[in-house]
Amino acid sequence: MSTDAEGDDVVSSGGRVTVVGSYNAGFVIDVDEIPVPGETVLGSDFAEGPGGKGSNQAIGVARLGANASFVGCVGDDHYGDEAFDLWAREDVDVEAVERIDDVATGAGFVIVDENGENAIAVAPGANAELHADHVADAHEQIRNADVVLCQLEIGDEAVGRAVELASDAGVPTVLNPAPARELPATILESVDYLTPNVTEARLLAGHEPDADVPNETVGHELLELGVGCVVMTVGEDGALIITEDDLERIPAPVVDVVDTTGAGDAFNAGFAVALTAGLDVTAATRFGCRTGAHCVTAREVIPGLPTREDLEGIPRPDR
């Protein structure tokens, strides 16, 4: 495992990331402007494909050269079949994925405007059936990982068991708190790296999503809830690394934005893979910013998740 001379890229990994999270069938409509409540707008295009933050991040990990294991649930329907076909193509270990009878596979509905901004609604479906016992059954995948990565499209019970098992085994944990919600202190106290965007950070800290509170203040409020380090993504401005003693700003590469959907998933995959390669939080965040930047240059999430070769076209951000 090594890094390049500048310390912001991963040359080789081979590490193991276990992702505990969701799979959703994705449905995307392109519009000129995202509608307000009660408004109907005509879209210009429609696409259907795989999604779910957990699955997206597991695929992102695998494409970057690490060993990806996914823990989750899908329905016993054709969307579940498509999920297993996808994971087989992407070389994601799915030994710990369970199919649930008489429950639909989760679904996500995305509206993307002409500027690449989006609005998303998710129906959990089988993801709601991922319980603590199922996560406990995946204890080998969790204990043998170099990093355990979770999101919040699954229930508190599953997230809590995953970070608890990882923490007990000395495995670093990354929690991407999306979609944001209030979490028990017992979960946050087992999180080494919390990776919210600015809206999620405010919601998790108990503010309104557009509250006029400095990002640094919000980050310290999250640290007070028990997490080890906050890595807050701030869109085109990159990311902030907030610890008890320091604040570091990591700029994002400048790219042409096509679709911001999935940028957070790409960031978290890159961040986790970099940690498995032994990079510190600064270098891991730089790498995550590059993987996130690649994602926004493509329409839809899966095409935007980069391989190592894809990243050769993404500039390193200025320091």
| Residue 32 domain flag | no
AA letter at 88:
A
- 12: its two tokens: 């080789």
Q: What is the pLDDT of residue 186?
A: 94
The residue from 265, 280, 310, 318 that is catalytic is 265
E strand spans, 125-228: 147-151, 173-176, 193-194
Is 287 in contact with 8 (CB distance < 8 Å)?
Answer: yes
Q: What is the pLDDT of residue 12?
A: 58
Q: What is the pLDDT of residue 116?
A: 79
Q: What is the CB neighbour count within 10 angstroms for residue 237? A: 14
Is 160 in contact with 187 (CB distance < 8 Å)?
Answer: yes
pTM for the whole structure: 0.90
Question: Residue 194: which domain range?
Answer: 14-22+53-102+125-313
Q: Which residues contact 238 (CB under 8 A, 6 or more apart)?
A: 249, 250, 251, 252, 289, 317
Phi, then psi, of 138 in degrees rounded to 5: -95, 25
Q: Which residues contact 133 (CB under 8 A, 6 or more apart)?
A: none
Sequential DSSP letters for 37-93: TT-----SEEEEEEE-HHHHHHHHHHHTTSEEEEEEEEESSHHHHHHHHHHHHHT-E
Dihedral angle at the C-alpha atoms of 54, 56, 316, 253, nearest 10 degrees? -100
CA 49 vs CA 28, 59, 73, 83, 100: distances in Å: 8, 14, 17, 10, 20
Helical pair 53-63 and 78-90, crossing angle rounded to 10 deg? 20
Catalytic residue at 30?
A: no
Q: What is the pLDDT of residue 110?
A: 85
Helices then strands (H, E): number in the chain? 11, 15
Q: Which residues contact 255 (CB under 8 A, 6 or more apart)?
A: 293, 294, 296, 297, 314
Q: What is the pLDDT of residue 261?
A: 82
| Residue 43 domain flag | no
- 289: its two tokens: 């910013």
| Residue 27 domain flag | no
Q: Which residues contact 57 (CB under 8 A, 6 or more apart)?
A: 19, 21, 149, 151, 176, 265, 268, 269, 272
* Measured distance CA(28)–CA(45) in Å, rounded: 8
Q: What is the pLDDT of residue 247?
A: 95
| Residue 270 domain flag | yes
Report pLDDT digits (tens) over 205-238. Answer: 999 998 999 999 999 999 999 999 999 999 989 9
AA letter at 314:
I
CATH number at residue 88: 3.40.1190.20
| Residue 243 domain flag | yes
Strand partners, 29: 46, 111
Report pLDDT digits (tens) over 51-91. Answer: 999 999 999 999 999 999 999 999 999 999 999 999 999 99
Collect the ranges in the chain with pLDDT lower than 70: 1-13, 317-319
Q: What is the pLDDT of residue 171?
A: 98
| Residue 112 domain flag | no
Is 283 in contact with 8 (CB distance < 8 Å)?
Answer: yes
What total number of domains does the chain contain? 1
| Residue 29 domain flag | no
| Residue 48 domain flag | no
Q: What is the pLDDT of residue 6?
A: 43
